[in-house]
Amino acid sequence: MICAGIDAGSRTIKVVVWDGDTGTVVAKGLIDQGVEQARLAQGLFEGLLRGHGLARSDIRRIVATGYGRNAVDVADQTVTEITCHARGVRHAVPAAVTVIDIGGQDSKLIRLDSNGRVRDFAMNDRCAAGTGRFLEVVAARLDTTLEGLGALAARSFAPAAISSMCVVFAETEIIGQLAASTPREDIVAGVQAAIAGRVTGMVGRNVDGPVVFTGGVALVSGMKEALELALGQPVIPAPDPQMTGALGAALVAAEYVSGTYD
């Protein structure tokens, strides 16, 4: 039984092809998001199938999730990213109780019940200051890359205070910090601390562990440590964190086919 999950995120499109009989990932891939979401998603999906000797008729069900899920017309159904990230994280880290997902345009904190289902969640999708987009703005302003941010933050001994709750005003703060000769490493460390503070501020510090960190921002070094400091407890990065939503969508598709979805 082969199924697929497509996560049409705000910054990238991810696809996972899942074999429910063997419990393994058959294929996976991602591309940058663009204007023609449906064409991009279908092209990535079909390319993965061809590359692994599969035909569309071999796929029992396709579930789309993410920011642009309703534009993915190759899918049989859509499911929210809250559900899909919960499924994907719980599969990858069976002990997970809390999921922190920071993507390109929003951030989420998801609490799971004993069965790995969503118990409740909090979401910030109104301001980019707690998301990957903020890090992109910061990287551009500091003349570095997303990968370079982590290296800078690791050299900080005095993180700058970034207090604005809006990415536009926060960028103005950063400009002011640069004008005051604040080292770039302290600015980056301050930004990471601010993002972690906004995420944990959605629900407070009373978060049950184990806590698993997923989404594209989990790939930025230093963010795990910033979250650990804000939460006061360990944070586990999800394996292959960009693919968690697509994996969860593929798992949901397999559950639908087998009749075990609830």
Domain locations along the chain: 2-88+242-258, 97-238
Cis peptide before 210 (omega within 30 of 0): yes
CA distance 4 to 9: 16
Burial 96-114 (b: 16+ CB within 10 A, else e): bbbbbbbbbebbbbbbbee
pLDDT value of position 6: 96
What is the number of other CB atoms lying within 10 angstroms of the CB of residue 78? 18
Structure confidence at residue 153 (pLDDT):
84
The pLDDT value given to residue 212:
96
Fold equal for 2-88+242-258 and 97-238: yes
Q: What is the CATH number of domain 97-238?
A: 3.30.420.40
Residues 6+ apart with CB under 8 A from 118: 82, 83, 86, 110, 111, 112
Out of 3.30.420.40, 1.20.120.1770, 3.20.20.10, 3.60.21.10, the CATH code matching 2-88+242-258 is 3.30.420.40
pLDDT at 164: 61
Tens-binned pLDDT, residue by residue, of the chain (262 aa)? 999 999 998 788 999 999 988 999 999 999 988 788 889 999 999 999 999 999 999 999 999 998 889 889 999 999 999 999 999 999 999 999 999 998 777 788 999 998 888 999 887 755 555 566 778 888 888 888 877 887 888 888 888 877 766 666 677 777 888 888 888 888 888 888 888 888 887 776 678 889 999 998 888 888 999 899 889 899 999 999 999 999 999 999 999 888 777 7
